[in-house]
Structure 1
Amino acid sequence: MVYKSLTQIDPEGVEARLCHACVRRVYRVFGPNHIWACDGHNKLKKFGICVYGFIDAWSRKILGMFVHTTNNDPKHVGVYFLHLVSKIGGIPLKVTSDFGNETGHLGTYQMWLSARYAGITTEEAEQRMHFTKSTHNQKIEALWSQMMKQHNASIKHNIKKAIHEETYDPNNKVQKLLFLFIWIPVFQSSVDMWVDSYNHFKRHRDRRTALPTGCTADYCYSTPESEGTTDQLVRVPTREIKSIIELDYPDLDSMFEHTPPWFHELASRILEDLGYELAHITVGEAWTVFHEMLPLVVAEIDRFPDSSDISDSSDISDLTGEED
């Protein structure tokens, strides 16, 4: 019954499957900066670590990965996009992402800048932001799978092990704040190194795809003429992006704080007294630093008036707004 229906709907597809020769979906991209795909990665969200990433769909170069305690704040995602535009020097012909509240600012900027600098109408600019189902956002979804296997899985195991062995209690407010203080920047540094390695890894040649292979993502992205194509970037003056950021995000610095200011001040001083710098702490050293700092933080925390609601018995859901 099912076979008969399928042969009527898609006879060629059925025949291909019977021959074990399913035709791949064709991914039409004409060069670097034709399409940027973006999405959030939530596999470590329950620990307070979230990632938002951008990838160039043609070269598969990772353009940026940003680590914070949330990846669904439209202001954060908007800033990530603007920082990339400023760094790269323009916008892509199209951005593709899942449809969600977090892309509100990003989508607005992509359409507005397209209308302003791509020489197209407002109606045409609306087509420069494409929303799709996560299952159809192929390039970024494939990237998350690779990242999980090559980078995140071992860190996830590391954190779960600490919780299981009761050397870290995520429901203790002080410990959770110290965890975020250390692990957000440490994880960002680790991700940055993985991204650099990913972008400079030479892929095997694959004649089944029209996308560039046999080269690194970074090389393909920066030298499209080697593949017989051109950069599709729509140039945008850096001063324009700077003005947008200053106007739309006057509280930029406080937006990306992942612990309360008073705690950051306390933890930063203790970290310095111990002779550490967050920028130089590796994933392998994170727990050592955590356990050296914890008793010192606990000993001084009552000196801060804003810490009055924090105690060893407090539930972390009060701090983060998470539901039990």
Structure 2
Amino acid sequence: MLATCLAQGTSGSPTVRVMSRDTQALLDTGSVVTLLRPVLAGGKAGEPMEVACVHGGTRTYDTCHVVIRTPHGVFTAQAGIVPNLPVPLLIGRDCPIFRPNKVWHVDGYDKLKPFGIAISGCIDGYSRRLMWLSSDSTNNNPAVIARYYLQCVSNCGVVPARLRTDCGTENGDMAAIQCSLREDHTDEFAGPLSHMYGTSTANQRIESWWSIFRKQRTQFWMDLFSDLRDRHYFNGTHEHKCLVWYVLLGIFQKELDEHRELWNNHTIRPVRQSLCPSGKPETMYHLPHRFGGRDCGFQVDPQVLQEFKDLLPPTNSLCGDDNLQYFANLERQSQLAPPINWPAAVDNYLTLKEMAGL
């Protein structure tokens, strides 16, 4: 079982009842299972449970069957008994109160940043549907991340009940917009509580997905760029990064779009001892009633979204218009055709690099 290794505080955590005791709980869609402190254990003993952290280590814990009463209903869970758990009760994805748009997990992926390409991603905690997977020259600009968020909310027509990010300054505009869009609602996570800060490593729903993403997609690009560097065709300078971005970003984003489509329509297999549904992320997100759930998103006025978009500053490339125009002029002079795949893009990169004297 995959579980969180550190809870990020209990601010805004709901009060629930475990058996006959009231306690604070932390909802964590990054954890497959529910965990609790020994003081709350009291139900029928269950089989020992192996809990694996996303960072590596695995430990075995005793378990017990407990009844947990929440503001959204009552459920039974086989919970792991963890002596040093930072919170009294950590509710994982085996709790059926997790639903589409309950929590969106946002994070940046920096493995390709040394080569000029930065990625931002967001995943729905319940369905595991990728909400966006986008690349640009930066993922540190708050306006860039806020535009990804606003475009996604506009496409979905709803704002999530909660948004979880790390403490990076690039998330500030998005967090403020999320809280503003939720300020007039009356649920327990309305307004400021609709956004959660935590460390990137503890945001395990998206963090664990990045490891899958690397194996299936980005390792190839890391090896490709490393090969260019080893052959002295790439030296890490600003100009080289800008040329990579200019030539390869379109092809790379196309691959991200294809990967997002494949992921959202692949079948997630059932996990033993977990009540979290299995199936295709796209289906679990759009048809939650088939899995005994409901959409937790809140409708949003398109006009309000447009007003926020208008308030954001322009998001210019880090490469600057002059550099991009220079590369475009060289491309026209050499009559290079726009690349349709990565080999063609690499050929264009090498040709333009030579023409520019980089």
State the TM-score, normalizing by the size of structure 1: 0.78
The offset of 1:120, in angstroms, is: 5.6
| Residues 243, 185 of structure 1: alpha-carbon distance in 2 compared, 3 angstrom cutoff | same
The DSSP-based 3-state class of the residue aligned with 1:115 is coil
Q: Would you say 1:285 and 2:344 are equivalent positions?
A: yes
The offset of 1:149, in angstroms, is: 0.9
The offset of 1:228, in angstroms, is: 1.4
The offset of 1:259, in angstroms, is: 2.1
Please name the residue that 2:104 is paired with.
Answer: 36
The offset of 1:212, in angstroms, is: 1.7
- 1:258-269 matches, within 5 Å, as 258-269=318-329
Q: Percent identity, please.
A: 21
| Residues 205, 230 of structure 1: alpha-carbon distance in 2 compared, 3 angstrom cutoff | same
Alpha-carbon distance between aligned partners in 2 of 1:93 and 1:149, rounded to the nearest angstrom: 31
Determine which of 84, 92, 117 is the counterpart of 2:152: 84
Please name the residue that 2:337 is paired with.
Answer: 276
Q: Are the aligned partners of 1:190 and 1:283 in contact in 2 as well (CA < 8 Å)?
A: no
Once the two structures are superposed, what CA deviation does each residue of 1:138-172 show, in whole Å capped at 9, x if it has no partner? 2101111111111111110110011101123323x
Q: Are the aligned partners of 2:123 and 2:132 in contact in 1 as well (CA < 8 Å)?
A: yes
Alpha-carbon distance between aligned partners in 2 of 1:225 and 1:272, rounded to the nearest angstrom: 54
Alpha-carbon distance between aligned partners in 2 of 1:33 and 1:159, rounded to the nearest angstrom: 36
Determine which of 205, 212, 215 is the counterpart of 2:277: 212
Determine which of 253, 257, 270 is the counterpart of 1:192: 257
Alignment coverage as a number of residue pairs = 280
Q: Would you say 1:150 and 2:219 are equivalent positions?
A: no
| Residues 106, 203 of structure 1: alpha-carbon distance in 2 compared, 3 angstrom cutoff | same
Please name the residue that 1:183 is paired with.
Answer: 248
AA aligned opposite 1:216: K
Alpha-carbon distance between aligned partners in 1 of 2:332 and 2:157, rounded to the nearest angstrom: 37
Determine which of 162, 166, 189 is the counterpart of 2:228: 162
AA aligned opposite 1:193: E
The DSSP-based 3-state class of the residue aligned with 1:202 is coil
Gaps of 5+ in 2: 1-36, 51-58, 63-78, 81-89
Please name the residue that 1:239 is paired with.
Answer: 303
Please name the residue that 2:199 is paired with.
Answer: 133
The offset of 1:20, in angstroms, is: 4.5
Alpha-carbon distance between aligned partners in 2 of 1:269 and 1:228, rounded to the nearest angstrom: 57
AA aligned opposite 1:65: L
Runs of at least 4 residues off by over 6 Å: none
The offset of 1:56, in angstroms, is: 0.4
The DSSP-based 3-state class of the residue aligned with 2:294 is coil
Determine which of 223, 227, 230 is the counterpart of 2:294: 230
AA aligned opposite 1:163: R
Alignment RMSD: 2.7
The DSSP-based 3-state class of the residue aligned with 1:63 is strand
Q: Are the aligned partners of 1:35 and 1:92 in contact in 2 as well (CA < 8 Å)?
A: yes
| Residues 17, 175 of structure 1: alpha-carbon distance in 2 compared, 3 angstrom cutoff | closer
Q: Are the aligned partners of 1:72 and 1:102 in contact in 2 as well (CA < 8 Å)?
A: yes
Q: Are the aligned partners of 1:68 and 1:258 in contact in 2 as well (CA < 8 Å)?
A: no
Once the two structures are superposed, what CA deviation does each residue of 1:179-205 show, in whole Å capped at 9, x if it has no partner? 221233332222111111111111222
| Residues 133, 259 of structure 1: alpha-carbon distance in 2 compared, 3 angstrom cutoff | closer
State the TM-score, normalizing by the size of structure 2: 0.71
| Residues 285, 74 of structure 1: alpha-carbon distance in 2 compared, 3 angstrom cutoff | same
Q: Are the aligned partners of 1:98 and 1:137 in contact in 2 as well (CA < 8 Å)?
A: yes
Gaps of 5+ in 1: 1-8, 299-311, 313-324
Structure with a larger share of its residues in helix = 1
The DSSP-based 3-state class of the residue aligned with 1:66 is strand
Deviates more, 1:84-93 or 1:288-297: 288-297
Structure with a larger share of its residues in strand = 2
| Residues 203, 284 of structure 1: alpha-carbon distance in 2 compared, 3 angstrom cutoff | farther
| Residues 267, 137 of structure 1: alpha-carbon distance in 2 compared, 3 angstrom cutoff | same
Please name the residue that 1:303 is paired with.
Answer: none
Please name the residue that 2:164 is paired with.
Answer: 96
Alpha-carbon distance between aligned partners in 2 of 1:233 and 1:256, rounded to the nearest angstrom: 31
Please name the residue that 2:15 is paired with.
Answer: none
The offset of 1:226, in angstroms, is: 0.9
Alpha-carbon distance between aligned partners in 2 of 1:174 and 1:135, rounded to the nearest angstrom: 32
